Amino acid sequence: MSTNRAVPAIEVENLVARYGERVILNNISTRFFTSEIRVILGTSGCGKTTLLKSIIGLLKPYSGSVSVFGQKINDQDNPETVKLLKKIGVLFQNGALLGSLTVEDNIALPLQMHTTLPESIIKEIVRLKLAQVDLPQALHLYPGELSGGMRKRVALARALALDPPLLFCDEPSAGLDPVTSAGLDDLLLKLRDMLGITVVVVTHELFSIEKIADAITFLHKGSLIYDGTLAEALEFKEGPVHDFFKRRERSEPLDSESSLHFNVESIL
């Protein structure tokens, strides 16, 4: 699917982010475009987590700005920010499903919290979302009864419950075997094409990157050092981007652990 390069879903301008006196992101400017799959890359501690937290309002910029669909993101206590955040779905690395609730109740939760829809309609939406992630049979199961790949798909259905035009995925392939991981990649591509959503993925699974990425944002030591297509990134002959993709010569993808952790209650 071709992306609309004229319409930015996310605009980051001269973003500086700090924890105390420590600068984490230094003057970051980038645009993520409508209906593209953007992959954020970089080594541990480069600022990927901080960039995503800044985009969804969990961290207020020290200076600079972040806009989503043309509206500036402020702190989460701002009513306009709260309204805007309903347009963002998040797939957490570990799924963040509530173990005491069935799959149906997990997916229904954001609809119950943020809409006034009757339960009959909510149940129909839940069934639709499970069908979209190819898991209709899981409706009455509990998270503990699901495989790792099934949990990711249920979590994805919940992230899409409010029909957000923007989806964040935190290490979606982490902990999955190669076949299950490839199936999840296929699902993200299908959902992007079917729903026209913009997808932002944090991962360093090379097979996934090469399969799904329309564009790449590469951070290094808090600075943006590359912002462009995968094909152009693979042409680097030296430096951090080259070193990262040089791992393609290995026969197996590397397991990964993400440092991105959100409180699920802050998103639902």
Q: The CATH number of the domain where 205 resides is what?
A: 3.40.50.300
Q: Which two tokens stand for residue 125?
A: 């939406």
Q: Is the pLDDT of residue 103 over 50?
A: yes
Q: What is the pLDDT of residue 92?
A: 81
Residue ranges making up the domain that contains 1: 1-84+198-250
Does 242 fall in a domain?
Answer: yes
* Mean pLDDT score, 22-42: 93
**Number of residues written out for the chain:** 268
Does 27 fall in a domain?
Answer: yes
Query: How many domains does one find in the chain?
Result: 1
Does 181 fall in a domain?
Answer: no
Q: What is the pLDDT of residue 251?
A: 41
Q: Report the predicted TM-score, pTM, of the whole model to 2 decimal places.
A: 0.85
Q: What is the pLDDT of residue 255?
A: 38
pLDDT band at 253 (very low <50, low <70, confident <90, very high): very low
Query: For 61-81, what is each residue's pLDDT tens digit?
Result: 999 999 999 888 876 667 777
Does 179 fall in a domain?
Answer: no
Does 120 fall in a domain?
Answer: no
* Distances in whole angstroms, Cα of residue 231 to Cα of each of 37, 69, 176, 211: 14, 27, 26, 12
Label each residue of the chain as H, E or C: CCCEEEEEEEEEEEEEEEECCEEEEEEEEEEEEECCEEEEECCCCCCHHHHHHHHCCCCCCCEEEEEECCEECCCCCCHHHHHHHCCEEEECCCCCCCCCCCHHHHHHHHHHHHCCCCHHHHHHHHHHHHHHCCCHHHCCCCHHHCCHHHHHHHHHHHHCCCCCCEEEEECCCCCCCHHHHHHHHHHHHHHHHHHCCEEEEECCCHHHHHHHCCEEEEEECCEEEEEECHHHHCCCCCHHHHHHHHHHHCCCCCCCCCCCCCCHHHHC
pLDDT band at 93 (very low <50, low <70, confident <90, very high): confident
pLDDT band at 266 (very low <50, low <70, confident <90, very high): very low
Does 89 fall in a domain?
Answer: no
Q: Which of 69, 47, 44, 66 is nearest to 57 (CA)?
A: 66
The rounded percent of the chain whose pLDDT value lies above 70 is 88
Query: For 156-212, what is each residue's pLDDT tens digit?
Result: 999 999 999 999 998 888 888 889 999 999 999 999 999 999 999 988 788 889 999
Q: What is the pLDDT of residue 47?
A: 86
Q: Is the pLDDT of residue 258 over 50?
A: no
Does 100 fall in a domain?
Answer: no
Among all chains, which residue has been given the structure tokens 């808090």? 222
Does 256 fall in a domain?
Answer: no
